[in-house]
Amino acid sequence: MKNKAVIIISSLFFMFVFGCNNDTKKPPVATTEPAKPKVVIPVFNADTAYKFVDKQVSFGSRVPNSKAHDKCADYIINILKGYTKNVTVQEYVVTAFDGTKLKGKNIIVSFNPDTNNRIFIASHWDSRPFADYDPDEKMHKTPIPGANDGGSGVGILMELTRLLAAKNPPIGVDFILFDVEDYGAPNWAKSQNEDSYCLGSQYWSNNPHKAGYMAKYGILLDMVGAPNPTFSMEATSMYYAPEIMRSVWETAKRIGYEKYFVTDQTSGLIDDHLYINKIKKIPTIDIVHHDNTSKTGFYPFWHTMKDDMSNIDKNTLTLVANTLLTIIYEEN
């Protein structure tokens, strides 16, 4: 995922005018907003999700065209097909910033596939071929483990697939695992084309897995497994889908995660959601770890060799998953 401010947000102002032109005084009518019906959500198993992340990392860096990438794809697909028959693998070839032809696989799980009333949740399962932000310059051309940057979101969605297969959601839900997200131009490349990132989501946005596919909205997960995360209101999300972002943050607050889902607005990012918003026109937000104490503004081990399992926290996996489960099962 690329750290780049890309959006200028315009402010929206609302004015409410109250008036009364009836001379006859009437007693006030007490109104109460109906409470949301109590929804029982499935119990998320953080141990299982953690194992899913660990297994991805165990194959090695999931760089497209590598054996580790192929083995991890087979593993993810087999696990998902063990839970549901509605798994689609979208295969394609895209061209990287350096001209390399990359074989990609977007993996999509669908629940209630025949309904048009649906949402999607996405993450990317590939990992970066360059540790270009590692403090050790000798490591800059080494592929990263990608435990948090990619693996954490995929681990959550694999566990959510198990849960939704056991308790069917009230709406259509798609989990989309994008490939070739993190093969963007490194710091030393002559060409710094911003569109060199997120090639899998760009492909899907132009060629969805199902003809005419649409959803009410989407949620992207990026770096959602580190201890004590801060998920800020990222500007690209706020530009394209402010109501969705506020609703998701309000849900997180309501179920006890206000400490982690903060209302600070931070710079816009080039991430998978940007292309879905621009090309597919589905309002999509990014739940992404922001850290204003780090040099990059991200999780401190972003694009370094320390993006490994030592920085994956089961509590973080749980709070993100419970927020998503509440959203899914409260939808109608």
Q: 7 pLDDT exceeds 60?
A: no
CATH of domain 46-330: 3.40.630.10
Q: What is the largest CA-CA distance in the chain?
A: 82
Share of the chain above pLDDT 70, in %: 89
Give the phi and the psi of residue 35 in degrees, each rounded to 5. Answer: -75, 150
For residues 303-323, average pLDDT: 98
Q: pLDDT-based confidence at 29, cuts 50/70/90?
A: low
Range of lowest pLDDT (8-12, 163-167, 311-315): 8-12
Residue 186 parent element (H or E) = none
Return the structure tokens found at 148: 């948090």
Mean pLDDT of the chain: 91
Pairing label, strands 101-111, 172-178:
antiparallel
What gap in Å lies between CA 255 and CA 263, rounded to an integer?
A: 16
* pLDDT value, residue 35: 61
Q: pLDDT-based confidence at 121, cuts 50/70/90?
A: very high
What does the pLDDT look like over 168-196, one tens digit per residue? 999 999 999 999 999 999 988 877 788 99
Q: 13 pLDDT exceeds 60?
A: no
Q: pLDDT-based confidence at 12, cuts 50/70/90?
A: very low
* pLDDT value, residue 2: 60
* pLDDT value, residue 10: 41
Q: Give me the amino acid identity at 60.
A: G
Q: 155 pLDDT exceeds 90?
A: yes
Closest CA to 107 of 138, 61, 74, 140: 74
What does the pLDDT look like over 220-265, one tens digit per residue? 999 999 999 999 999 999 999 999 999 999 999 999 999 999 999 9
For residues 63-75, average pLDDT: 98
Range of lowest pLDDT (27-36, 83-92, 224-233): 27-36
What does the pLDDT look like over 193-221, one tens digit per residue? 889 999 999 999 999 999 999 999 999 99
Range of lowest pLDDT (5-19, 200-214, 273-287): 5-19
